[in-house]
Amino acid sequence: MKPILRFPDLVGLDLVNNWTTLNNWISKRGFPPGHMVGRCRMWTEREVFAWIESQPTENNTPLKGIAKKARADAEARRGAA
Protein backbone atom coordinates (compact mmCIF):
# COMPACT_ATOMS: atom_id res chain seq x y z
CA MET A 1 0.00 0.00 0.00
CA LYS A 2 1.26 3.49 -0.83
CA PRO A 3 1.66 5.99 2.02
CA ILE A 4 0.10 8.74 -0.17
CA LEU A 5 -3.27 8.07 -1.80
CA ARG A 6 -4.97 9.90 -4.66
CA PHE A 7 -8.62 9.62 -5.69
CA PRO A 8 -7.94 6.72 -8.12
CA ASP A 9 -6.31 4.88 -5.21
CA LEU A 10 -9.45 5.36 -3.07
CA VAL A 11 -11.51 3.97 -5.95
CA GLY A 12 -9.06 1.08 -6.38
CA LEU A 13 -9.41 0.27 -2.68
CA ASP A 14 -13.17 0.03 -3.25
CA LEU A 15 -13.64 2.77 -0.67
CA VAL A 16 -15.52 5.27 -2.83
CA ASN A 17 -16.96 5.29 -6.36
CA ASN A 18 -17.15 8.95 -7.32
CA TRP A 19 -16.24 12.51 -6.35
CA THR A 20 -19.80 13.38 -5.34
CA THR A 21 -19.83 10.70 -2.66
CA LEU A 22 -16.35 11.66 -1.51
CA ASN A 23 -17.30 15.35 -1.22
CA ASN A 24 -20.40 14.38 0.78
CA TRP A 25 -18.25 12.28 3.11
CA ILE A 26 -15.85 15.21 3.56
CA SER A 27 -18.63 17.70 4.33
CA LYS A 28 -21.02 15.45 6.29
CA ARG A 29 -19.19 12.40 7.62
CA GLY A 30 -15.83 13.81 8.62
CA PHE A 31 -13.71 12.18 5.92
CA PRO A 32 -10.34 13.96 5.87
CA PRO A 33 -10.25 16.71 3.23
CA GLY A 34 -6.78 15.69 2.16
CA HIS A 35 -4.02 17.96 0.92
CA MET A 36 -3.84 19.83 -2.37
CA VAL A 37 -0.59 19.25 -4.25
CA GLY A 38 -0.82 21.40 -7.33
CA ARG A 39 -4.23 20.51 -8.78
CA CYS A 40 -4.30 17.04 -7.22
CA ARG A 41 -5.89 16.17 -3.87
CA MET A 42 -4.01 13.57 -1.86
CA TRP A 43 -4.50 11.79 1.45
CA THR A 44 -2.08 10.02 3.71
CA GLU A 45 -2.78 6.36 4.21
CA ARG A 46 -2.76 7.00 7.96
CA GLU A 47 -5.54 9.63 7.87
CA VAL A 48 -7.75 7.51 5.61
CA PHE A 49 -7.45 4.41 7.79
CA ALA A 50 -7.88 6.45 10.97
CA TRP A 51 -11.17 7.73 9.55
CA ILE A 52 -12.26 4.20 8.61
CA GLU A 53 -11.53 2.95 12.12
CA SER A 54 -13.39 5.88 13.68
CA GLN A 55 -16.65 5.12 11.88
CA PRO A 56 -19.45 3.50 13.87
CA THR A 57 -19.88 -0.18 13.16
CA GLU A 58 -23.65 0.12 12.68
CA ASN A 59 -24.64 2.53 9.92
CA ASN A 60 -26.76 2.57 6.80
CA THR A 61 -23.82 2.54 4.36
CA PRO A 62 -21.96 -0.76 4.58
CA LEU A 63 -18.23 -0.58 4.06
CA LYS A 64 -16.71 -2.47 1.14
CA GLY A 65 -13.33 -3.78 0.12
CA ILE A 66 -10.29 -2.60 2.02
CA ALA A 67 -12.43 -0.41 4.29
CA LYS A 68 -14.34 -3.47 5.47
CA LYS A 69 -11.08 -5.32 6.11
CA ALA A 70 -9.59 -2.37 7.99
CA ARG A 71 -12.68 -2.22 10.22
CA ALA A 72 -12.49 -5.97 10.93
CA ASP A 73 -8.77 -5.70 11.74
CA ALA A 74 -9.39 -2.76 14.10
CA GLU A 75 -12.16 -4.66 15.89
CA ALA A 76 -9.94 -7.73 16.19
CA ARG A 77 -7.18 -5.61 17.75
CA ARG A 78 -9.66 -4.12 20.24
CA GLY A 79 -10.90 -7.61 21.14
CA ALA A 80 -7.37 -8.91 21.66
CA ALA A 81 -6.40 -6.00 23.94
Query: Model confidence over 13-69: pLDDT tens digits?
Result: 888 999 999 999 999 999 999 999 999 999 999 999 899 888 876 655 666 676 777
Q: Model pTM?
A: 0.66
Please give the pLDDT value at position 78: 66
Task: Output DSSP code: residue 56.
Answer: -
User: What domain range includes position 12?
Assistant: 4-80
| Number of domain units in the chain | 1
Neighbours of 22 (CB within 10 A): 19
Please give the pLDDT value at position 69: 74
